[in-house]
Structure 1
């Protein structure tokens, strides 16, 4: 587990760490902001394409084969990005990194659900939740410190020792725990999945640059949706589908997927909008912004395993419902933020928010997968991980677009004051987040522990 979780942390850290260096990279490589944004879009796009295929790969290849492939891809991508002489090489390195993470995340969940009994999965998933929150949360803070003292290359170099540890440790200790089956990879399913999930992620990712009325954006989303419909029809007709959508026959699984979508939509968009609010409405430096968010991220890291054990002891509703309430309280506080909000209020609100997300994130995933029979685990993991990546890409794109539109509207119709306009835009998107958080509270009331967790 140490080998898997360290590699996963590096991949998730890399997902957000480079974002803070976009302005500097635009200047260094002499490219416009639209082009540099592909360092983030390409990462999400690769995850959106490869994660759906992971379910069939986990049945076809051994745990060790999948693990070594994922860490080698992360290592090669990281080193390639670190030494990149031109933007094209940096982008290729990012895509290779994302390919490694696309294998690692589903594999880690699959190992947890294979080696841990049902009454201990909450604690194990709590540790994974720590990694899933700590990586993206600490990325901007650490990257800001590196940019203040060293060059952008070290954002990549600093992770190489961790990946080498993961590779060596895993090579020595990681056994094969999954069941290998004679399954064939259906080429048409892979093509439809790639076009479907890739089209949706791409369409939403470039919407902020192209605009929602752009033919490219609408075309990519429409083609993506049609491809997913055809993909779903094909999967239901196949005897051995690439992604077994029959998992949706289990009501608790469907409920968990919806809650997981809302949680990731809110979390990843909030991690983008909150720094924008602080930098644009309160005029705070990027590194200071990272430090303000640090206490919430660190406290969540400390408490994540404890929350997992509480889930094992008291069941899903006792942990998840209070978590959804804390998230809603955090958003309710965010909606009141203005241009003169005290920094300590932001720190406290973010702590409450992160504790709530920590209670919801891993626990919902655990309960969602516990509701499935054992043979559905690879498919259930592939479905939930895909939903999370798509939710993140859609959430960031939609919320940033709404923020920008509201900010611009305020400056045109109310007052040409950038700080007040940014605060108005932030309040608007935080209100949307609050509505979604309240929906999650209601949904959590229908959760229950799967009867003697099916094996």
Structure 2
């Protein structure tokens, strides 16, 4: 075989050496799937962890919101890492960081230690996600790129969807520590495989990074999330809430101002000059606010109100997970025919109506009704995410595609973490305000138990109401997307 023929048949890395693209993709697929799996695995375990560490729902949700916020902060920095460092070493380093956080969670003896481990995990996942997506885009020719990105999207979408179900099964048979122990061998295998199968497939250069922007983003978004998360323990009028929220808004404003002024911003905000991209990014962010928070509080309802086991609550979410996994490739084909506007309007309408159907929920609502409603809800979400993201990216010029990806992923993670914090805070706050005082508990214990249960139900109703509001805002926004060119 001639040298020219060999180079045509086999991809070449940045060092001019041939590599096996299938093995490279498989390694990153397994690694990224395992890291994204942990983003939602703990939602089913929240009641168990609340008991183990003697903490409230408002505190335990930091294991998810903190994880997502760190992801949102690290993703834009990864854009710099991709320009500066060998993609092979960067991905393996991310898996090593993730594994370190997993070990900390496994051996945690208090809540502070497991939270620190989760934040470190979030940093690792914040690197693996954009590296995975960028490499998948870069190593395939345009004719095969659609299928490659469909596979990438399915992994990133399916892993978080099945996380709660898998965690429920593990908790049914083992300790919560097994949630982390089960992930470690996979990470070790990926590290070993990656050493031999991954390659430097992206060009590198000495790109500068603005560390002041990094500091502003951490302080700004961190303060805002802390404020939203504190509402469950305090009140909106408490200084610890409104002061940190005000500081967060001001610092984020400074971050945006600096990003628009300097030549090497952490986030290239000029992508928002494209109206369609701005609208799509906002729509996806609002959808994530509704989706992630809802997926977190539904297992809490099933276990604390209904007394379901972790496995049962996880299985309740499984049909919805299957639907979103199966629909991701299909929505791409439908998108080509109907366009993002029609699909997102239909999807957001389903999401709004079905989420609203959870508002009158009671302690005796049939589980089969919850399963069916949640499954249809995930169908609506699958009709929005990929089509709207794609139409936003298509609106950008080629030189801004990578910047648009970073901005989109960052907005999605930051708003998802804030949406989750808002829903849990509202649930906790409303429940606290409706629980009868201790005098009732001493006088009539049975009545107190009944009223306390009702207070918890009311808390969940308000949380579902806020999730419905997020979905309705998304529905309104969907009407402003441009009509499909093939539409009549």
Q: Report the equivalent of 1:230.
A: 254
Conserved 8 A contact 1:41-1:206 = no
More moved, 358-367 vs 127-136: 127-136
SS in structure 1 at match of 2:176: coil
More moved, 369-378 vs 275-284: 275-284
Matched, 1:385 2:409: yes
Q: Report the equivalent of 2:239.
A: 215
Matched, 1:58 2:92: no
Larger Rg: 2
* Structure 1 residues 438 and 117, CA gap change in structure 2 (3 angstroms): farther
Tell me by how many angstroms 1:407 deviates: 3.9
Conserved 8 A contact 1:125-1:363 = no
Q: Report the equivalent of 1:315.
A: 339
Structure 2: 5+ residue stretches without partners: 1-24, 438-447
TM-score (norm 2): 0.81
RMSD: 3.2
- Once residues 117 and 208 of structure 1 are traced to their aligned partners in structure 2, the CA distance between those partners, rounded to angstroms, is 50
* Structure 1 residues 84 and 282, CA gap change in structure 2 (3 angstroms): closer
- Once residues 330 and 204 of structure 1 are traced to their aligned partners in structure 2, the CA distance between those partners, rounded to angstroms, is 25
Select the residue among 334, 340, 345 that pairs with 2:358: 334
* Structure 1 residues 116 and 369, CA gap change in structure 2 (3 angstroms): farther
Tell me by how many angstroms 1:313 deviates: 5.5
- Within a 5 Å distance, the mapping from 1:23-62 to structure 2 comes to 24-25=48-49, 38-62=62-86
Per-residue CA deviations over 1:305-334 (Å, capped at 9, x if unaligned) read 222343355532354333223212322322
- Once residues 219 and 27 of structure 1 are traced to their aligned partners in structure 2, the CA distance between those partners, rounded to angstroms, is 31
Structure 1: 5+ residue stretches without partners: none
Matched, 1:433 2:467: yes
Per-residue CA deviations over 1:363-401 (Å, capped at 9, x if unaligned) read 322222232223323322222222112212221221223
More moved, 383-392 vs 215-224: 215-224
Tell me by how many angstroms 1:101 deviates: 0.4
Q: Report the equivalent of 2:478.
A: 444
Per-residue CA deviations over 1:377-434 (Å, capped at 9, x if unaligned) read 3322222222112212221221223233444555569x96344444433333333333
SS in structure 1 at match of 2:207: coil
More moved, 94-103 vs 198-207: 198-207
Conserved 8 A contact 2:108-2:114 = yes
Q: Report the equivalent of 1:242.
A: 266
- Once residues 38 and 427 of structure 1 are traced to their aligned partners in structure 2, the CA distance between those partners, rounded to angstroms, is 21
Q: Report the equivalent of 2:382.
A: 358
SS in structure 1 at match of 2:42: helix
SS in structure 2 at match of 1:256: helix
Select the residue among 291, 294, 300 that pairs with 2:318: 294
Q: Report the equivalent of 1:303.
A: 327
- Once residues 32 and 262 of structure 1 are traced to their aligned partners in structure 2, the CA distance between those partners, rounded to angstroms, is 26
- Once residues 396 and 276 of structure 1 are traced to their aligned partners in structure 2, the CA distance between those partners, rounded to angstroms, is 13
Per-residue CA deviations over 1:29-77 (Å, capped at 9, x if unaligned) read 6778776555445423422432232222222224323212211212232
* Structure 1 residues 289 and 204, CA gap change in structure 2 (3 angstroms): same
- Once residues 350 and 44 of structure 1 are traced to their aligned partners in structure 2, the CA distance between those partners, rounded to angstroms, is 22
* Structure 1 residues 407 and 187, CA gap change in structure 2 (3 angstroms): closer
Q: Report the equivalent of 2:294.
A: 270
More moved, 166-175 vs 302-311: 166-175
- Once residues 317 and 367 of structure 1 are traced to their aligned partners in structure 2, the CA distance between those partners, rounded to angstroms, is 9
- Once residues 62 and 431 of structure 2 are traced to their aligned partners in structure 1, the CA distance between those partners, rounded to angstroms, is 24
TM-score (norm 1): 0.87
Conserved 8 A contact 2:58-2:425 = no
Work out the number of aligned pairs and report it: 451
* Structure 1 residues 28 and 430, CA gap change in structure 2 (3 angstroms): closer
Tell me by how many angstroms 1:290 deviates: 1.5
Q: Report the equivalent of 1:98.
A: 122
Q: Report the equivalent of 1:261.
A: 285
Tell me by how many angstroms 1:349 deviates: 0.8
Q: Report the equivalent of 1:109.
A: 133
Q: Report the equivalent of 1:70.
A: 94
Conserved 8 A contact 2:223-2:245 = yes
Q: Runs of at least 4 residues of structure 1 off by over 6 A?
A: 30-35, 117-120
- Once residues 354 and 107 of structure 1 are traced to their aligned partners in structure 2, the CA distance between those partners, rounded to angstroms, is 27
* Structure 1 residues 61 and 376, CA gap change in structure 2 (3 angstroms): farther
More moved, 392-401 vs 199-208: 199-208
- Once residues 261 and 431 of structure 1 are traced to their aligned partners in structure 2, the CA distance between those partners, rounded to angstroms, is 18
